[in-house]
Amino acid sequence: MSLVLQEPQTEWQGENLSEEAYPEHASARRAKRGILGHARELFRLRHDKSTSRVGLAAACFVGLFSLIGGRLVYLAVTSENTSEVRRAASSEISAARPDIVDRNGEILATDVKMVSVFAEPRNIIDKDEAVELLTAVLPDLDATDLRNKLGTKKGFVWVKREITPRQQAEVHRLGIPGIGFLPENKRIYPNAEAAAHVLGFANVDNVGIAGMEKYIDSMGLQDLNGAGFNISAADLKPVQLSLDLRVQHALRDELAKGMAKFKAKATAGAILDVNTGEIIALVSLPDYDPNNPVDALDKDRINRINVGVFEMGSTFKALTVAMALDSGKYNINSTFDARSGLRYGKFTIGDYHATRRVLTTPEVFVHSSNIGTARMALGIGVEGHKAFLRKMGQLSRLETELPESALPIIPPRWGELNTMTIAFGHGLAVAPLQALMAVGALVNGGVLIKPTFLKRTEAEARQSALQVIRPETSEAMRYVMRLNASVPEGSASSAAIAGFFVGGKTGTAEKVINGRYSKNKNLTTFTAVVPADKPKYVFLTIMDEPQAVEGTYGFSTAGWNAGPVTGNIVERVAPLLSVPPRFEAPSQPFPLMSRLGAWGSNR
């Protein structure tokens, strides 16, 4: 009965009793009960506790993702591998180059965007599998070389530079960890071989190796890249050259035809604006494609106009005649004895086409008399001769924007015999471009203007020009050069294209083979002035070892090959250079020569 009537004791009642019985433990029990109780209460499925549960879960997730995000940021900033990739990418972006354009704005060289494949060897798990997969989609890769690259501990190596979009898609589809892509700038030359020797080329890292490409780097581009500046082609002003792409194509085409016709080993040509010093066109054949410059180092593919040095033969007689006239010791009516050979010790100098008579100054030039020009040089003297050639820029290296240039070959001991032979173009070897520069000064009024491959005005050119001969001497030189093309006995008649009032001079020099002159290997040259009364351009054509062919009657001298080739060039490109044909001869083109009654002025 008492058990039935006994009231059950609840948990809290027991606790209350316990607290009353043991008041010293009450505070500790309440703290423990508070923490556990709140936790139990929080996760009980009660509607009034849902907000707290969501808040705690959100806080946990925020903390977790903040930890992961922080770690990723840390790895991105401090990872050695990623830093190397970033540095490589930065380097490629900064390697952009400015466009190169011709004088009319036509693109000669430009950048295009390409993609290259790189690897992070430390992140590649199965290197053999990676090699097998990559060589399957990029078959030109060397498997051994690639395996060696991936076997290193480097953080960055190139797999293949400049791949196609299809190749990029195939490599991407492989999904190999540690393989990625970087954008690069590739240099493109849309006109292939045109102007190759002037433009030069850039390597796979877009660094200029030769020609104007190397010049651009030397003007500060590489310094900017080295300093870490991220520049694009859009940030750089195009480099405008003096070349005319239309004329360049025409010159190359005519030289190629002449090379084939006369079976020459090589040929070259250039066109110079005599008033500005601008090179309008320059070709040296055989040449190469700067898009794939594997042949650029072939010894036969050098830039013969700027890098080669040659004995220029009789074209050098123009300098000798100008020296004689400008000295005041001789004039246009002076005479020179060419009745017999000129002896000097055991040597005798003779004429190729001997006249065996006394010649006037114009006749010495027209008949290309070795004897007459040798006598002129002897009359001036060794030191006077050297001083004149030095003033004309023939005894020192000609420096232009092109990094490639050559020193002239000067006799170590220059005596009277050297002066006699150099007077008619033997014994002194120069770069054809410096000879062309000198001829430009002979006909433009006597002003020596340093050639340039950059577009400029006549006023800009004259700022650094040097007056080297008198204007009267310049008129005399224009006169004798025109006479040489207009009279039957003149050697330049093969280039006298009707309507363009051409003047010119041929030159044939025996090549030096193993230290001796070869009797059957010639270097022929032709220099033409257009128009001769008021020159605008000088044309130079060189043919290396041309052969006698049908129609040349067994001759291989300049009048039979370099001369007619130059005539074809003049006829084709003069209209492009705003020199239209004139079929009525100018009245009084050389007034001073007419007043002096120079030989041939009444013809």
- Name the band, by pLDDT with cuts 50, 70 and 90, for residue 38: low
Angstrom distance (rounded) from CA 175 to CA 130:
10
Instruction: Specify the pLDDT at position 114.
Output: 87
- Which residues are catalytic, by number? 314
- pLDDT at residue 567 in the model: 96
Radius of gyration of the chain (CA): 41
Percent of the chain with pLDDT strictly greater than 70: 84
pLDDT band at 527 (very low <50, low <70, confident <90, very high): very high
Domains (range + CATH), the chain: 247-291+306-596 (3.40.710.10)
Distance from chain centroid for Cα 252: 17
DSSP H or E stretch at residue 134: helix 127-137
Which range is least confidently modeled, 1-15, 44-58, 294-308, 484-498?
1-15
Reported as a single tens digit per residue, the pLDDT across 197-223 is 999 999 888 889 999 999 998 886 655
Query: Which residue type does 155 have?
Result: G
Q: Give the Cα separation of 230 and 347 in Å (integer).
A: 67
Mean pLDDT score across all residues of the chain: 86
Q: 3-state secondary structure string, 401-438?
A: CCCCCCCCECCCCCCHHHHHHHHCCCCCEECHHHHHHH
Q: Rounded to whole angstroms, how far apart are CA atoms 154 and 122? A: 7
DSSP codes joined into one string, 60-125: HHHHHHHHHHHHHHHHHHH-HHHHHHHHHHHHHHTT----EE-TT--EEEEEEEEEEEEE-GGG-S
Query: Which residues, in sequence order, are CB contacts of 243 under 8 Å at separation 6+?
Result: 102, 103, 108, 195, 198, 279, 280, 281, 282, 453
CA distance 470 to 472: 5
Burial of 196 (0-12, 13-18, 19+ CB in 10 A): buried
Residues 229-245 have pLDDT tens digits of 455 556 688 999 999 99
pLDDT for 513 equals 80
pLDDT score of 259 more than 90:
yes
**579 three-state secondary structure:** coil
Distance CA 135, CA 458 (A): 58
Average of pLDDT values for 537-549? 96
Single-letter amino acid, residue 254: E
Q: In whole angstroms, what is the distance from residue 485 CA to residue 476 CA?
A: 15
Q: What is the pTM of this model?
A: 0.81
User: Cβ contacts of residue 548 below 8 Å, gap of 6+?
Assistant: 554, 555, 556, 560
Give residue-wise pLDDT tens across range 134-160: 999 999 999 999 999 898 888 888 899
Q: How many CB atoms lie within 10 A of CB 571?
A: 17
Nearest alpha carbon to residue 536 among 280, 208, 256: 280
Mean pLDDT along residues 357-365: 97
